[in-house]
Amino acid sequence: MTPVFAYLAQQEILLLFLLVGFGALLGHFKIGGVSLGAAAVLFLAVAVGAWADAQGHKLVVPETLGGFGLILFTFSVGLMSGPNFAAALRRGLAPILTMVLLLVIAAAAAVGVGRLLGLESALVAGAFAGALTNTPALAAAREAAGHSPLPTVGYAVTYIFGVVGMLIATSLALRHRGQDRDAPTPLVNCTVRVETAERPSIGQIGQRHGGRIRFSRVRHGGMMFPVLPAAEDDVLCRNDLVTVVGPADEVDQVVRELGHASSHVLQADRSEIDYRRITLSNGKIAGRALAEVNLLERFGATVSRVRRGDVDMLASDQLVLQLGDRLRVVAPRERMAEVSKYIGDSARGLSDVNPIALGLGMALGIGLGKLVIELPVGHFAIGSAAGTLLVGLLLGRLGRIGPFVTTLPVTAAQALSELGLLIFLAQAGTKAGAQIGVAFTSGAWWKIALLGAVITLLVGLGLYLAMRHFFAMGGTRLSGV
Name the band, by pLDDT with cuts 50, 70 and 90, for residue 192: very high
What is the DSSP pairing of strand 241-247 with strand 302-308? unpaired
User: 174-183, 193-202, 279-288, 397-406: which range is least confident on average?
Assistant: 174-183
Residue whose C-alpha is closest to residue 123's, from 148, 98, 101, 154: 154
Torsion angle, alpha carbons of 235, 236, 237, 241, to 10: 140
Comparing 402 with 144, the larger pLDDT belongs to 402
Average pLDDT of the chain, as a whole number: 83
Core vs surface per residue 421-440: b (16+ CB within 10 A) or e: bbbbbbbbbbbbbbbbbebe
- State the Cα–Cα distance between residues 82 and 6, nearest whole angstrom: 45
| Helices (runs of H) and strands (runs of E) counted in the chain | 19, 13
384 pLDDT higher than 70: yes
Residue whose C-alpha is closest to residue 218's, from 258, 276, 278, 277: 258
pLDDT digits (tens, 9 = 90+) for 36-52: 778 888 889 888 888 88
| Domains identified in the chain and CATH numbers | 2-178+397-480 (no CATH), 187-350 (3.30.70.1450)
32 pLDDT higher than 70: no
CB atoms within 10 A of CB 58: 13
pLDDT digits (tens, 9 = 90+) for 269-303: 888 888 899 999 888 888 888 988 889 888 988 89
Q: What are phi and psi of 325, to 5 degrees?
A: -60, 145
The phi-psi region of residue 343 (left if phi > 0; otherwise alpha if psi is between -120 and 50; otherwise beta) is alpha
pTM of the model: 0.77
Give the DSSP H/E element, type plus range, for residue 313: strand 311-314
Task: Taking residues 96-107, report their average pLDDT.
Answer: 86
- State the Cα–Cα distance between residues 45 and 153, nearest whole angstrom: 12
Please report the beta strands in 150-269, taking only residues with DSSP state E, as ranges in sequence order.
187-194, 214-219, 228-229, 241-247, 259-261
Residue type, 302: T
User: 55-64, 140-149, 171-180, 215-224: which range is least confident on average?
Assistant: 171-180
Q: What are phi and psi of 474, to 5 degrees?
A: -65, 160
- State the Cα–Cα distance between residues 88 and 240, nearest whole angstrom: 38
Comparing 416 with 461, the larger pLDDT belongs to 416
Task: Taking residues 154-163, report their average pLDDT.
Answer: 77
Please give the pLDDT value at position 53. Answer: 82
| CA 89 to chain centroid | 15
Task: Taking residues 167-195, report their average pLDDT.
Answer: 72
Task: Taking residues 149-167, report their average pLDDT.
Answer: 76
Task: Taking residues 18-28, report their average pLDDT.
Answer: 91
92 pLDDT higher than 80: no
64 pLDDT higher than 70: yes
pLDDT digits (tens, 9 = 90+) for 419-445: 998 998 898 888 777 677 766 766 777
Q: What are phi and psi of 424, to 5 degrees?
A: -60, -45
Residue whose C-alpha is closest to residue 12's, from 56, 45, 54, 51: 45
Please give the pLDDT value at position 145. Answer: 77
